[in-house]
Amino acid sequence: MAKTFQSICEKPEKDKVGELVFETQEISESEKYLRMIVDSSLDGITVVDEQGKFEFVNDSFLRIIEWPREEIIGNYFMKIIPEDMNEFIYKQWDNLQKGIPDDFETKIITKSGKTKYVNVAHRIIEIEKKKKAVSVTKDISEKKKLNQLSKNPRQNIGNFMRMLMMEYTHMILRAISHP
């Protein structure tokens, strides 16, 4: 804020009201500006309370997890974690509660049951004297698929050749059956 509350109080009543209105408008504009940044982020952004319940999620996070907002807000973050990742995620949560920020890779489950891979960076901040976990989540599913493909190029070339042969066979059969 440009002026302190004390400096506003020292002015005549008419000036105080005008400055308070101006300060309120500045705050509103700053809030809109920050909201636009968060909402336009390509990465998911979340705020989770001390109990592990979602308080805030941006639209990108909802696109990543494929759950509607009303089924996420107020629910435990473990709702989207597959069972085989529970121990790892609980350990991450314990470390975070101790104030140890981290960046890690994990799996999530979408509403339809599809598994996705994500990278999560999180840290604890204090908002209104309460600890909150703020996280940035990036969908890395496609990157994981590409990495898997590059690990075994011979198998991938073989699969590609089989697919080409099948397509070629289908083309010949269509040409023969529809001269």
Q: What is the mean pLDDT of residues 28-35?
A: 77
> Would the pLDDT of 65 be above 90?
yes
Looking at the structure, tell me whether residues 130 and 150 fall in a common domain: no
The pTM for the full model equals 0.68
Task: Count CB atoms within 10 A of the CB of residue 1.
Answer: 10
Give the rounded distance of the alpha carbon of 47 from its chain centre. 10
Looking at the structure, tell me whether residues 86 and 68 fall in a common domain: yes
Q: How many domains does the chain fold into?
A: 3
> Would the pLDDT of 35 be above 90?
no
Which neighbouring-strand residues pair with 71? none
Q: Taking all residues of the chain, what is their mean pLDDT, rounded to a whole number?
A: 83
69 band by pLDDT with thresholds 50, 70 and 90: very high
> Would the pLDDT of 36 be above 50?
yes
Looking at the structure, tell me whether residues 104 and 50 fall in a common domain: yes
What is the CATH number for 112? Answer: 3.30.450.20
- Quick check: helix, strand or coil at residue 53? strand
161 is in which domain, residue-wise? 145-177
| Cα–Cα dist 77/66, whole Å | 14
Looking at the structure, tell me whether residues 130 and 55 fall in a common domain: yes
Which neighbouring-strand residues pair with 154? none
